[in-house]
Chain A
Amino acid sequence: MKAFDRILLSLNRWLVIVILAAMALMVFANVALRFLTDASILWVEEVSRYLMIWLTFLGAGLVLRYGGHIGIDNLQDAFPRQAHFIRALIFLLLLGFFSFMVWIGFRYAALTWGQTTPVMEIPVGIVYLAMPVGFLLLIVHLLLMAGPYIAKRRFIVDAEFDPESVKI
């Protein structure tokens, strides 16, 4: 289980790194091209938008592991003795919501599979799949963190990501 978790975290991390790097490279190339030649690659705007959507849903699970989704923790702080019951409730609510999103997400992707995107003419379902896949990943991360989270509100801690940094 530990080995599986380590591989999952590492894969998930590299996935978001590559997506963000690809987005930056292609949008920059397009700006440079527009300035130098007055032309631009049509599909860049579309593909970079879709990559951003995938990045959001693939990254959401990792953020959850770090305790980086902003929320209001005052209730748990106010009732330290009952806090693990509150967190168990949050866990169940999240599990239910994530499961629903996986189901509706797959349905939506399947329903729209026949439509294609304006420029690339690929099935829009490829974009919409990001949501159910992302929420499936969220479920996996939620289950992996459940024990330490419910008992002690413990998340992954390392120097790379400070959960406070998401408060823009």
Chain B
Amino acid sequence: MIAVLFIGCIVLLAIGVPVAFALGGGTLAAILYNGTMPLIALPKYLFSGMDVFALLAVPFFILAAELMTGGSLSEVLLRFASQFVGRFRGGLGHTNILTITFFSGISGSALADAAGPGAIMIRMMRKDGYHPEYAAALTAAVSILGPIIPPSISMIIYALVYPDINLVGLMVAGVMPGILIAVAMAIINHVISVRRNYRGVKQNLTVQDYWRNTWKALPALLLPAIILGGIAFGIFTPTEASVVAVFYALFAGSLIYRTLTWAMLPGILARSALVTASVLIIVAMSGAFAWVLTVSRVPQQLTELIVSMNLSPIAFMLAVNLLLLAFGIFIEPLPGIVVLVPILAPIAHALGINDLQFGIVVIVNLTMGMITPPVGGLLFVTSLVAKVPLMKMVKELWPFMYAQLVVLAMLSLIPAISTWLPNLFGYH
């Protein structure tokens, strides 16, 4: 039956059936093949997979990021970031990195980062004499921070399919790895800017200018603090934080920055609703898929097998990373999480790997798949905004990808990068 499940899903996926329906179709084929399982289990587990209050954070974080972009909060963050790093060599590149890093503290997805502040930064960098391919590549590479720095839709789904992990702990665990990736991207930007003589931005800022920019950015800067601080200190649950973020963004965009109008709301809501539907339909179908896996005891048997092989945690980590990198070339992070995490996370746990560290490695690795050609979601968006052919842009991406691979190796080998901060807050 398991063979039918996997072959069914893979064949459907390969011919181009959308992921959600390929998972559902493969599950249906497996149940029909088995013959003794009741068909009614399919709708039953499909609903139980999505009837979870914590999942409401998904639509709300999507909506919050849309409202932030509509409310021009990206521009304010950008001016704030620029006054610190703009004057250095490759200054706009550094501004881009810093702005997207801030924005990732509000948005839960990589595409929201690329489409929001990323799109604005690409246009600015073009105008300032950067090669558009480079601007697009840098933006795509930095945008992977969206789901790594909390809040994170990927992490919400991860905790849903592997309930043994603490969602708040996982979110806090993403902070240091996110900053590490941002630093790595800044180093690459510096090296390339020196080589190509991308100059800094001429700024004659007075002390008053600093104050004014910071004052203006304050409402936008407060939001990541409210979300992360609120979640980490246990003031809000992630779901509560997500809905607070929605109304804070609505308030700041319409009353403080005054760029968000009521006429924009239906469009913003419709877009968020559709993104939500496309994400949650996959989650729903994977509920039934995971049920068939569990009934046939695949995760348990695989765990026993691998534990009996006496594999060292490092060897397992390496194997998982290679598997996920290969997976990420063809598929987006979400299907990767719903299909692979219920199988891999219990094995990692049994081998003594820290749950939080493993979660971070899986999410960083799968998110990197969004910038690996040929099918990286981030590649399409950024190449479209920069108006450059995809293949030309990919050439500029290599240095960033190598740097991310180095960070990924560090995350895989050094648990403390992921676990240090959550341990401080009492999450293990």
| Interface positions of A (Cβ within 8 A of B) | 13-14, 16-17, 19-21, 23-24, 27-28, 31, 45, 48-49, 52-53, 55-60, 62-64, 66, 68-76, 86-87, 89-90, 93-94, 97, 100-101, 104-105, 107-108, 111, 127-128, 131, 160-162, 164-168
Contact = CB atoms under 8 A, between A and B. Distances in A.
Nearest to B272: A20
B244 interface: yes
Contacts, number: 207
Interface stretch (B173-181, B197-205, B254-262, B327-335): B327-335
A165 B14 contact: no
B56 A59 contact: no
Contacts of A53: 47, 50-51
Interface in B262-294: 266-267, 269-282, 284
Contacts of A62: 274, 277
Best-surrounded residue of A17, A48, A164, A166 (most CB of chain B within 10 A):
A166
A16 B277 contact: yes
Contacts of A55: 59, 273, 276-277, 280
A63 B43 CA distance: 21
A68 to B, nearest CB: 5
B5 interface: no
Nearest to A15: B273
B111 interface: yes
A153 B1 CA distance: 34
Contacts of A166: 111, 274-275, 278-279
B320 interface: no
Interface in B145-186: 147, 153-154
B407 interface: no
Nearest to B273: A16
Max count, chain A CB within 10 A of own CB: residue among B25, B244, B274, B378: B274
Contact of A68 (B40, B115, B278): B278
B374 A28 contact: no
Contacts of A17: 266, 269-270, 273
A113 B44 CA distance: 13
A94 B18 CA distance: 9
A94 B50 contact: no
Given A20-B63, A76-B16, A107 B40 contact: yes
Contacts of A94: 17, 21
A73 B14 CA distance: 8
Contacts of A73: 16, 375
Interface in B333-375: 333-335, 370, 374-375
